[in-house]
Structure 1
Amino acid sequence: MPDPTDEAEADEHTEHTEHTDDGGRNPGSGTGRTRLAVAGLGLVAALVIGVGAYELGGGGNNRAAQPAGTSVTLASPTPTVTIPGKAALLTPPKGSKYFGVAAPDAPWRSSVLSGITKDAGGTAPNMVQYFVNWTKGFDPGVIRAAYGQNALPVISWEPWAGRAKGTQQPEYSLATIIDGKHDAYIKTFAKAVKENGWPVGLRFGHEMNGHWYPWAERNGVNKPGQYKAAWKHIHDIFRRAGADNVIWIWSPNTLRGADPVSLKSLYPGDAYVDWLGISAYDVGERTAKQLLDPTLTRMRAFTERPLLITETGSQPGAQKAAWTASLFPWLKSHPDVIGFVWFQYTRAQGGGADWTFTSTSAARHAFRKGVKTLTLTKVPDGRSD
């Protein structure tokens, strides 16, 4: 539990919001099985997409109504695209990485990712993460928007009704998931994911080793063993639905800032997980190694699955530029780490602090210089072969 007298830690664990209903996000402290290659798989999907700009709306959006006049333009005038049918194909080849972002209105507004590309010195994100709570359905338009911008979509799928309902929410307890009370919703979501066809990362119930979410075992409602059981229950529903275009991402918080709970006790097993994730926020560490190595070492005691840093950023302070600079050589020195998602939110946008790499010119320079050293993996971009 963070020390409430420590402003950095207190900010870090302020209950964060999600995109749409709650507007932003304030984070907690926070070898692949296959390669990107369609040959030999024998399973592809064709998706016909519209041409030009379109409004993202309808029942599935996990966001407030799109303001009039805003739109996302797909990348290609070609209407048919062939994509991998198996999500695991998007595990990068050795040495290549994902540069992901989570940012307000991404991927809905194409200007967001194009702006981040400019801020990053011309290096474009190839992954975008957004948040969907369990009052919202699956929106295929958002997936098309992400791929139309050359970015793999990752959904942080949150079993709650949003922060306004508090951190416990017994109606979303792990027991209710295990007992099947949400099966109709889960089946509908899984069916929609399958029918959409595009590979999508699904990061269910992240930061489960803390206490600040309804799905955490230590939040006062749940019991030990229930998180793993709930994960397996959901995974089995997707398997029966044939939704094999999902990349399952198990994503705890860094050990620093989390509760003293065994990560292994929360891990569903390699049969249920494709990638590991981690929420890892610098709140005073000098280097990425100092923040990340203890948690990665703990994970490697029970799994060798590829790791994606699913949320990261650096708190304002004298260390920010140096910490940002240290992240990129750390990534390159870890071939089992397939990339990162930068949390590009300010305090005003609901981040709890300004985590953005653009908060100072020194941090921006460090990020630009570092990201250029990475070899980024290719993501299907909406163009036919």
Structure 2
Amino acid sequence: MLTRRQLLLAGLATGVASMAGCSSGSKEAGNGRPVREFGIASDPWKAADWGQAVGAKPTMVMEFESWDRNRTLDAHFQAAKDGKMESFAITWEPWTPVDLAANADAQSAVQPKFSNQAIVAGSLDGYIRNFATAVKKSDLTVYIRYAHEMNGDWYPWYHDPAVYAQAWRHIVDVFRSVGAKKAKFVFAPAVNLYQADDSAWMAGVQQYWPGAEYVDQVGTTMINLGRSKAYYVKDFKPRLKLLHETFGKGVVLAEVNSASEGRLKFFTELRTWLSTPEADYIRSVILSQLPSHGQASLGDQVGDLSWQVPTDDETRPVIKALIKDITPVA
């Protein structure tokens, strides 16, 4: 039997209406498939240099934003607009971050200030309202991946699934109350490939579901950590399809990356799959090459995730081609 920490680390490896212009049967990319978004996990000021190095532009950036910062992202939104982007993605985390490598138990402990119960009670409404107002003023389509991987046990918001769903609905209601119509909420569980049974996995996910009227897209992490945690596109496909079919929403690949060993196979498989009708429900792909928690925690058990697409001669052409395949402004 896997220990709790092994499950936690394995989860890291796997770890709204449809996007305008991206639904099946709408605009098509050069390969005849639906146009999607391609994003990178980065602040918007670095996006132009990344695109120049790769030879194809991302259509959005995705930032991780923890609630303890107690700020809005007005300058970030403006920088994205200055870079000719029309959309922005945020992984919005209600907590004060804890270093996973240093203390796994502390990472999952309830933080009362940011708990599901506190959100439902309205004690954070001022912050939520200010953030929603900034999203509205930006006039960008802002995809909010709120409290992701909730069906694992490595973040504090996994506690009390029913209250998690209430907190989600409360947040969306606040956004609606300020008229933030271009905010799109992404429900993003972990794929948890260490769970062999699809039905058991989905049952765990459904505990947290806030309701179709409160979710615009679903999504998940898609990372090949390599070595003992090596996963390829074929391993993720069944659960991506199950997410789509269960909830009836388009799917975001919200954190995509691979260890250096196997990276060319991983991204070539991804590009090939996205070019087929089977993958038409995928709405966006977000490459995340930020420092890896899995790398820090597992060390030599996993591959090297420190490489970067812009400086990698083997993978860069594949990513460039993938972007040009799926986006309208590559």
TM-score by length of structure 2 reads 0.78
Paired residue type of 2:20: R
**1: distance between equivalents of 2:3 and 2:83?**
41
Paired residue type of 1:377: P
1:244 maps to what in 2?
181
Q: Secondary structure at the match of 2:160?
A: coil
Counterpart contact for 1:28–1:257, Cα < 8 Å: no
1:100 maps to what in 2?
39
**2: distance between equivalents of 1:289 and 1:213?**
27
1:56 maps to what in 2?
none
1:144 maps to what in 2?
78
1:358 CA drift (Å): 5.0
Q: Does 1:130 align with 2:74?
A: no
Counterpart contact for 2:260–2:307, Cα < 8 Å: yes
Q: Does 1:322 align with 2:265?
A: yes
Q: Does 1:364 align with 2:316?
A: yes
Counterpart contact for 1:255–1:295, Cα < 8 Å: no
Q: Does 1:288 align with 2:233?
A: yes
Change in 2 beyond 3 A, CA 1:34/1:212: closer
**1: distance between equivalents of 2:17 and 2:8?**
36
Counterpart contact for 2:40–2:61, Cα < 8 Å: yes
Percent of residue pairs identical: 25
Unaligned runs of 5+ in 1: 14-26, 37-87, 217-221, 380-385
- CA offsets 1:151-203 (integer angstroms, 9 cap, x no match): 32111111002225743223222111122222222122223322333321111
Change in 2 beyond 3 A, CA 1:4/1:272: closer
Change in 2 beyond 3 A, CA 1:10/1:31: closer
**2: distance between equivalents of 1:308 and 1:202?**
11
Q: Secondary structure at the match of 1:100?
A: strand
Counterpart contact for 1:157–1:204, Cα < 8 Å: yes
1:165-244 → structure 2 map (5 Å cutoff): 166-168=107-109, 169-216=111-158, 222-244=159-181
Change in 2 beyond 3 A, CA 1:207/1:2: farther
**2: distance between equivalents of 1:264 and 1:92?**
30
Q: Does 1:354 align with 2:306?
A: yes
- CA offsets 1:37-80 (integer angstroms, 9 cap, x no match): xxxxxxxxxxxxxxxxxxxxxxxxxxxxxxxxxxxxxxxxxxxx
Counterpart contact for 2:129–2:175, Cα < 8 Å: yes
Runs of 4+ residues over 4 Å off in structure 1: 1-6, 9-13, 31-34, 257-261
Counterpart contact for 1:307–1:339, Cα < 8 Å: yes
1:147 CA drift (Å): 2.0
- CA offsets 1:184-236 (integer angstroms, 9 cap, x no match): 221222233223333211111111111111111xxxxx223122111011111
1:298 CA drift (Å): 2.3
1:49 maps to what in 2?
none
Counterpart contact for 1:282–1:313, Cα < 8 Å: yes
Paired residue type of 1:167: S
Change in 2 beyond 3 A, CA 1:3/1:297: farther
Paired residue type of 1:332: S
**2: distance between equivalents of 1:256 and 1:275?**
21
1:286 CA drift (Å): 5.8
**1: distance between equivalents of 2:149 and 2:180?**
24
Counterpart contact for 2:16–2:185, Cα < 8 Å: no
Counterpart contact for 2:244–2:250, Cα < 8 Å: no
Cα RMSD, aligned residues only = 3.3
TM-score by length of structure 1 reads 0.68
- CA offsets 1:305-328 (integer angstroms, 9 cap, x no match): 1111111100222x2211111111
Structure 1 stretch displaced more, 164-173 or 337-346: 164-173
Q: Does 1:29 align with 2:29?
A: no
Change in 2 beyond 3 A, CA 1:273/1:134: same
Change in 2 beyond 3 A, CA 1:262/1:301: farther
Counterpart contact for 2:223–2:255, Cα < 8 Å: yes
1:264 maps to what in 2?
206
1:246 CA drift (Å): 0.5
1:311 maps to what in 2?
255
1:378 CA drift (Å): 5.2
Aligned length: 297
Counterpart contact for 2:8–2:153, Cα < 8 Å: no
**2: distance between equivalents of 1:315 and 1:4?**
23
Q: Secondary structure at the match of 1:271?
A: helix
